Amino acid sequence: MGLLQEKLAKHPFYAMAKDAKERGVYPYFREIEGKQGTEVEMGGHSVLMFGSNAYTGLTGDDRIIEAGCEAMHKYGSGCAGSRFLNGTLDIHVELEKELAEYVGKDDALVFATGFTVNSGVIPQLVGKDDYIICDDRDHASIVDGRRLSFATQLRYKHNDMADLERVLQRCDPDKVKLIIVDGVFSMEGDLCKLPEIVELKHKYNAAIMVDEAHGLGVFGKQGRGVCDHFGLTDEVDLIMGTFSKSLASIGGFIAADQVIIDSLRHTARTYIFSASCTPAATAAAREALRIIKSEPQRLEALWDVTNYALKRFKEEGFEIGDTESPIIPLYVRDMEKTFAVVAMAFEAGVFINPVIPPACAPSDTLVRYALMASHTHEQVDRSVVILKKVFQQLGIIE
């Protein structure tokens, strides 16, 4: 074994994965044998899917599949270059216009993935004399984006507005101060305190970027997101979103005023130096966006089943924290038991995701249960019965 292999073999996550495999509770990279839906075939048996981010339930919609196929036939399988050079299609531009209108901004840029939006945009917004200020539970893509910046990087305690103000008071009043926050926090399901953040923006002359990855298709009029939900779209300088959740595709975008977008169009490295979003992914996202806007019953169904699930988990004594969204954290607060819950639930017919450090604090390990508009009350009831039995067997709840 070489020095590189010896070093990697000593990493704690390598050891954790090795141990979980040996105990038969390794929860990652399970193979799905068909379309994503409320029930999927995995490991030779059918399981209820409560581990997906497809909040609108559109990933298997025939209209979206057909849109992707038509784009493949017209444009081919890829663009063979970046948007900056030979990789801009008319459907990229059309989608950008529709996304900008949807979230209430002047213009938008479409990237190949949501992760590369944050990792490419954030470093270009601020320089070495400026400040990036983040909630300490912001998504990993925001963390990596700020790490690539030369700006001073500051964090505040999760949703603690007094701590955010303390951080802002430390900043030079004449320098750019960019507050970056998740609209919906992806593990715990709670919302950012956007009204209070906007108040502090004005008090300290800051700017705001909101990651709407888990808000689009879920909150606001026609699923326009948390910014719309609070009626504060005009107060937010940049809105980021992904296609891989409610929009049933892969890719991402940033929307803002024309000055910001024109600047990023020529400076964001993951936009200039990455291949374009594929024709099929672009067309699929555009079709999903149009469906979401034209079918309000989809959003109504999502909130109906979400409120029902929240009620059922509370009735059965689960600890679910401060969630206000279709993301429901079921707290375990023990790493080994978290893996055991996932494995036992899977064998009993329910797929859920483990959340362990660094995605949470060691004392806050949980399993993440997420809903789609296409889930039924009956499916929720089945899953609650199974999960309660598992949690009781492991001594997590009475």
Alpha helix positions (H), the chain: 3-9, 12-23, 62-75, 90-103, 114-125, 140-147, 161-169, 194-204, 226-229, 258-265, 269-272, 279-294, 296-315, 335-348, 377-393
pLDDT at 13: 87
Does residue 186 contact residue 327 with C-beta atoms inside 8 Å? yes
* Alpha-carbon distances, residue 7 vs 17, 339, 351 (angstroms): 16, 25, 33
Q: What digits encode the pLDDT tens for the residues 260-293?
A: 999 999 999 999 999 999 999 999 999 999 999 9
Structure tokens at 325: 């969204």
What is the spatial distance between Cα 312 and Cα 377, in angstroms, rounded to a whole number?
10
Encoded tokens for 60? 């298997």
Q: What is the residue-wise DSSP string for 43-68? A: TTEEEEE-S---TT--TT-HHHHHHH
CA neighbor of 394 nearest in space, from 331, 317, 320, 337: 337
**Amino acid making up residue 213:** A
What confidence tens digit (pLDDT) does each residue in 104-115 have? 999 999 999 999
The candidate with the shortest Cα–Cα distance to 192, out of 204, 205, 179, 175, is: 179
What is the rounded CA–CA span in Å between residue 135 and residue 142? 10
Mean pLDDT, 10 residues at a time, the chain of 398 residues: 92 88 90 92 92 96 98 97 96 98 98 97 96 96 96 97 98 97 96 98 98 98 98 98 98 98 97 97 98 97 98 97 97 95 97 91 93 98 98 95
Give the pair of three-digit tokens for residue 12. Answer: 């704690």
Q: Which pLDDT score, from 0 to 100, does residue 285 have? A: 98
The rounded Cα 376 to chain-centroid distance in angstroms is 23
Structural contact between residues 176 and 152, judged by C-beta atoms closer than 8 angstroms:
no
What is the spatial distance between Cα 377 and Cα 331, in angstroms, rounded to a whole number? 22
Go through 139-168 and write b for each residue having 16 or more CB atoms within 10 A of its CB, e for each that does not.
bebbbebbeebebbebbbeebeeeebeebb
- Report the b/e string of 219-256 with b at 16+ CB within 10 A: bbebbbbbbbbbebbebbbbbbbbbbbbbbbbbbbbbb
